[in-house]
């Protein structure tokens, strides 16, 4: 089977998004708000712990105990929500109708979802200790793990990671270039921020610098509303294509 070009993968993603842009954007916004709210709760608990345990015999340890428990729970919550989002967009890439509640799908396999995310993070960190580049490569090696877990919920965590590594042999650069084709959309925001920094550091033009920085932020937020569903659907389309190519080799 001939490999699809990146242009064709993006075209498949766009076709899948047709008539589902509204729900796709809603999924991105709601999931981001949920994760942001989780971070807010962590900060709130931290401040509350500081006040409640100020008179404690060991105030630092008491505060750490309160915030670490809450932080661990909400961090796990964020991992599961993020996983649910990626699964929703895989369904969308497959031509299925998606719903807002799909972002909670990861809770059906909570411990395995959290475990596989943490294990991938640990492995990536250990590879990064050697050099940055090996760690970066491993991110792409493990990139299909969550999709595999969605379709094979009974699979063992290490088996899912191993299968992802097998799928990505010879495909890491393809996925990198696919991601890069989306990342270049943010270049204008970087240029505008650079101009703002130049005006601030050399001309002390605070008003123009703030205006430019605000413009760059608005541009980045606006383009993200369009790009994030597009990128997530393209990631699902990429997974499906690589899986078909592997099956045709057997």
pLDDT tens-digit profile of 21-30?
Answer: 999 999 999 9
Provide the percentage of residues in the chain whose pLDDT is more than 70.
86
Residues 6, 177 contacting (CB under 8 angstroms):
yes
Closest CA to 143 of 183, 182, 186, 173: 173
**100: CB partners within 8 A, 6+ apart:** 23, 26, 27, 30
Average pLDDT, the chain: 86
Instruction: Tell me the per-residue pLDDT of 91-142, one tens digit each, with 9 for 90 and over.
Output: 999 999 999 999 999 999 999 999 999 999 999 999 888 777 888 899 999 9
pLDDT of residue 20: 95
pLDDT of residue 60: 47
pLDDT above 50 for 174:
yes
> Is the pLDDT score of 196 beyond 90?
no
The answer for residues whose C-beta is within 8 angstroms of residue 114's C-beta and 6 or more apart is 76, 79, 80
As separate numbers, helices (DSSP H) first and strands (DSSP E) second, the chain gives 10, 0
Domain-by-domain residue ranges, the chain? 6-249
In the structure encoding, which two tokens stand for residue 157, read together?
């965590």
């Amino acid at each position: 089977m001939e490999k699809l070009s990146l242009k064709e993968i993006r075209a498949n993603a766009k076709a899948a998004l047709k008539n589902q842009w509204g729900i796709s954007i809603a999924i991105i916004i709601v999931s981001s708000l949920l994760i942001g709210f989780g971070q807010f709760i962590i900060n709130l608990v931290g401040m509350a712990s500081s006040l409640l345990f100020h008179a404690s015999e060991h105030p630092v340890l008491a505060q750490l105990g309160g915030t670490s428990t809450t932080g661990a729970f909400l961090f796990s919550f964020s991992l599961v929500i993020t996983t649910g989002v990626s699964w929703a967009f895989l369904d969308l890439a497959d031509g299925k109708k998606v719903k807002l509640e799909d972002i909670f799908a990861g809770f059906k396999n909570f411990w395995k979802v959290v475990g596989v995310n943490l294990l991938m993070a640990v492995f990536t960190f250990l590879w990064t200790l050697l050099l940055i580049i090996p760690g970066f490569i491993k991110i792409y090696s493990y990139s299909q793990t969550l999709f595999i877990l969605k379709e094979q919920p009974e699979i063992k965590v290490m088996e899912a990671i191993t299968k992802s590594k097998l799928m990505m042999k010879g495909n890491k650069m393809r996925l990198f270039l696919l991601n890069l084709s989306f990342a270049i959309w943010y270049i204008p925001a970087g240029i505008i921020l650079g101009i703002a920094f130049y005006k601030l550091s050399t001309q002390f033009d605070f008003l123009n610098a703030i205006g430019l920085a605000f413009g760059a932020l608005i541009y980045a937020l606006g383009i993200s509303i369009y790009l994030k569903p597009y990128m997530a659907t393209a990631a699902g389309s990429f997974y499906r294509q690589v899986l078909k190519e592997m099956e045709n080799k057997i």
